[in-house]
A and B are shown apart, each in its own frame.
Chain A
Amino acid sequence: MLIPTRLARLRKIRRPRSSSVSWGRWTEFLIESLIRILGLSTIGFVLLIFLFLLKEGVPVFLRVTPANLFGARWYPTFDLFGTMPLLLGSVLVTVTAIAIALPLGVATAVFVREVAPGWAREILKPMIEVLAGIPSVVLGFFGMTLVAPLIRTTLGAPTGLTAFTGALILAYMSLPTIISVAEDALDAVPKSYRDAGLAMGATQWQTIWRVVVPAARSGIITAVMLGMGRAIGETMAVMMVTGNAARLPLSLDAIFRPVRTMTATIAAEMGEVAQGSTHYHALFGIGIILFLVTFVINLVAAPAIFAKRRRGGLR
């Protein structure tokens, strides 16, 4: 360590008072420890939350038979804790939301990044950021009072509070995330890719679709995964607009019927439940299932997300 000693020597020459040097060392040590503690505590808190979730949730898997727990009926007052309708409800709403949000989001990102003139981009980008800041309860209210009646009248259904309504609201909620992350991914594609595409006689559209978007693939998948994470964990808006009927969404028209999601169930029932009861543990059990689902989504996305570090030829 030649250079540090040299620096130290220089410092001694400039500042002969050794007390100031040791004071500097002390603050350095303090700040370093503080940063270390803060960093480690974040990990610690996540672990604690996970342990708490396990502690409160695991008993339900011991007290209730698997046939009951993964059954089709969720009637906690009759000791029926079938989580299947809730799980499928969440999946149905989330998948539909992503199916709506993905093409819209990627198309918007392509427009903002590749097609829009500079001044339009400067207006659009902050507007999209603002969209992300709308509280979910406001969107839920918007869904209840405007979207739901619209769906009811156009479909002639008994209620407008359906899985589809929830999916629309969720799609709208996850759009800003998808757009801004996908846009960053497109932005990271080197200009030379576009030149190479155009120089091969591709039209601007062909260049975008066959060269730029594939090159940004991993980033776009990340965008969708983040959007999906936001959608599956969303509670308030979903609770307000999906109708909350815990029935198996397996019929063909299930998408236009009310459903209940896992998050909405936990939020709606946690306040009413007797602490320590089977029902209480069942709600935490749902929390564990939710956690596992999001964990699996992240796991599936991981190779695509990390793939970009390995790809060559990019500059």
Chain B
Amino acid sequence: MPEQQNPKINIQDVTYEYDDGKPILRHVTLDVTAHAITVFFGPAGSGKTTLLRLINRLNDLVEGSRMSGKILLDGRDIYAPGSNVPELRRRVGMVFALPLPLPGTIRENVTYGPQLAGVRDRVRLEEVVERSLTQAALWDEVKDRLDTPATSLSGGQQQRLCIARSLALKPDVLLLDEPTSGLDPISTAKVEETLFQLREHYTIIVIPHSVQQAGRVADYTAFFLMGELIEYGTGTALFTSPRDRRTEDYVTGRFG
């Protein structure tokens, strides 16, 4: 376990299973550091996406699933009875593997979340649009065509638009599930660059789409296998000197 300066999220002994009874996560415990990029990686089926979805309670609607253990955000249990789920999801933004612009213009995509949250003031919404798109490193490319359909953007731009859409809600935490899996190398580099800039203000958890990407962006790295947290370490230590045999086998490409 790496030294934790100021843990933003505490995941405590989380076990999770879908209705088929097979646990997809087993006794996972880890602390996520604020203002850093934490990488969850591992082969498919290792439970990393499920853990990410648990952090903003997106799996609430999955029928027949069971979870035990606790997830604390700023020391508060997010699964405590009576907690405000939409409020939590505004604090914990999520970006998905496929860029998914909602039907509508670029501007509408960004203002969607704040409008849902009840912001009506046009001036404030304009500020949100500029701030979010700037933070997502997209403003210069789209500032002249905010009212064109979001689907007219390239894949990489659409993904940064999705990041901007999450940022529009001023979250504390940003979860990204393979945000560059459908993108070309140039767009991937831009998204990664965006993540580095966002690190100062946000707590970021990324599921990378390759081990190489994990190595490029990680401040902290967690390696998952078959629902278990195998190894958790600072920076790229996991790649250069893995302590666990299974980690070594995976990063050197012996399986996966």
Binding site for B on A (CB under 8 A): 117-118, 190, 192-193, 195-204, 206, 210-211, 214-215, 217, 311-313, 315
Contact = CB atoms under 8 A, between A and B. Distances in A.
Query: Interface majority SS on B: helix, strand, loop or mixed?
Result: helix
**Most central of A197, A202, A210, A211 by chain B CB within 10 Å:** A202
B112 A192 contact: no
Interface string B61-95: 10100000000000000000000001101100110
A190 to B, nearest CB: 8
Interface in B91-112: 93-94, 96, 98-103, 112
A211 B109 CA distance: 11
Contacts, number: 70
Contacts of A201: 86-87, 89-90, 113, 116-117, 169
A312 B151 contact: yes
B63 A193 contact: no
Contact of A195 (B58, B63, B101, B103): B58
B101 A117 contact: no
Contacts of B152: 312
Interface of B: 56, 58, 61, 63, 86-87, 89-90, 93-94, 96, 98-103, 112-113, 116-117, 150-152, 158, 162, 165-166, 169
A217 B90 CA distance: 27
Contacts of A198: 58, 61, 89
B57 to A, nearest CB: 9
Nearest to B94: A199
Given A117-B63, A313-B150, A199 B100 contact: no
Contact of A200 (B98, B112, B151): B112
B100 A311 contact: no
A9 B165 CA distance: 60
Contacts of A214: 103
Contacts of B98: 192, 315
Nearest to B171: A201
A200 B98 CA distance: 16
Nearest to B60: A198
A202 B100 contact: no
Contact of B151 (A192, A217, A311): A311
B108 to A, nearest CB: 11
Contacts of A193: 100, 102
A89 B58 CA distance: 51
A200 B100 contact: no
Contacts of A200: 89-90, 93, 112-113, 116, 165-166, 169
A36 B248 CA distance: 63
Given A200-B93, A200-B169, A210-B116, 19 more contacts: A117-B63, A118-B63, A190-B100, A192-B98, A195-B58, A196-B100, A198-B89, A199-B94, A200-B89, A200-B90, A200-B165, A201-B116, A202-B116, A204-B61, A215-B102, A311-B103, A311-B151, A313-B99, A313-B103
